[in-house]
Chain A
Amino acid sequence: GAVVSQHPSRVICKSGTSVKIECRSLDFQATTMFWYRQFPKKSLMLMATSNEGSKATYEQGVEKDKFLINHASLTLSTLTVTSAHPEDSSFYICSASTDGTTNEKLFFGSGTQLSVL
C-alpha cells in the first residue's frame, strides 16, 4: 500500500517556540492531505484539509494563524505550530488519499508527539 512518512515522530520544545511537522507521500502524489490532532485515548479531530498549491481549509475552531499549513508540492505538506504553548501538546497525525478525494481510503503517517514545556 501507499506510504506516508511523517517527521519528526517526537518533539519537545519550549513554550513560545515554533515547531514544524512534515508529512510526505513516498510513492504517490497526494493533492490533498489531512491533518488531525489526537488527545490520549481520544478520537482523531480533523484540523484542516491541505490542498496542493492553495490555501488549506481549516475546521471550525482551529486557528489558522496558530497552525500554519503549507502544501507546496504533490508529495509534501507541513504543519507549523507557531508560538507553541503547553496546551498545544498533543499527538498530530497526517493522512493522504491516493486520488485526493474523500472516496478513497486514507493512509496515515506515524504521527508526531508534541510536548511543549
Chain B
Amino acid sequence: GQQVMQIPQYQHVQEGEDFTTYCNSSTTLSNIQWYKQRPGGHPVFLIQLVKSGEVKKQKRLTFQFGEAKKNSSLHITATQTTDVGTYFCAGNDMRFGAGTRLTVKP
C-alpha cells in the first residue's frame, strides 16, 4: 500500500510563531485528509483536499495539496496554546502519517 511520510516529528514553538507540517506520498493520492489529536484524545477530522494544487483555509490554518497530488502541507499562522496536539495526514487508503507533535510555549 501507499506510504505517507510526515515531517517534522516534533515542533516546539513560542506562542505567536508559525508552524508547518509536511506530508509526502510515494504514490499519487486521490485525496488527503488532515486530523488533529489533542493529548489524551482521539483524532478529529480537520479537512480533506481532493484537487491538484488545492488550497483551503480555516481561520489560521492553511492546507495545501501539491500539483502532483503527492504532497501536502498544513500551516498554522500565529500559533496559540490551543493549537497544541499532534497533527496527522492520511492518504486515501486510511493509512496515517507518523504525525507532527506541536507544543506551544506561552
A45 / chain B contacts, CB cutoff of 8 Å: 96
Q: Are B45 and A107 in contact (CB under 8 A)?
A: yes
Q: Is A110 in the interface zone, CB < 8 Å from B?
A: yes
A108 / chain B contacts, CB cutoff of 8 Å: 42-44
Given the interface contacts A44-B88, A110-B42, does A105 sit within 8 Å of B98 by beta carbon?
Answer: no
Q: Is B30 in the interface zone, CB < 8 Å from A?
A: yes
A68 / chain B contacts, CB cutoff of 8 Å: none
* B interface SS class: loop
Q: Please encode chain A, from 77 to 117, with 1 for each CB lying within 8 Å of some chain B CB and 0 for all others.
A: 00000000000000001010000001101111111000000
B30 / chain A contacts, CB cutoff of 8 Å: 102-103
A107 / chain B contacts, CB cutoff of 8 Å: 45
Give Cα A105–Cα B48 distance, bound, in whole angstroms: 7
Q: Are A34 and B97 in contact (CB under 8 A)?
A: no
B101 to chain A, nearest CB (A): 7
Q: Is B12 in the interface zone, CB < 8 Å from A?
A: no
Give Cα A108–Cα B93 distance, bound, in whole angstroms: 16
A114 to chain B, nearest CB (A): 15
Give Cα A108–Cα B42 distance, bound, in whole angstroms: 7
Q: Is A43 in the interface zone, CB < 8 Å from B?
A: yes
Residues of B in contact (CB 8 Å), total 21
Q: Are A43 and B33 in contact (CB under 8 A)?
A: no
Q: Are A106 and B42 in contact (CB under 8 A)?
A: no
Give Cα A37–Cα B93 distance, bound, in whole angstroms: 16
Q: Are B45 and A102 in contact (CB under 8 A)?
A: no
Q: Are B33 and A106 in contact (CB under 8 A)?
A: yes
List the interface of chain B (C-beta within 8 A of A). Answer: 30-31, 33, 35, 41-45, 48, 88, 90, 92-99, 101
List the interface of chain A (C-beta within 8 A of B). Answer: 1, 34, 36, 41-46, 49, 93, 95, 102-103, 105-111
- What 7 additional pairs, Cβ within 8 angstroms, besides A102-B31, A102-B92? A46-B95, A49-B94, A102-B93, A105-B48, A106-B33, A107-B45, A110-B42
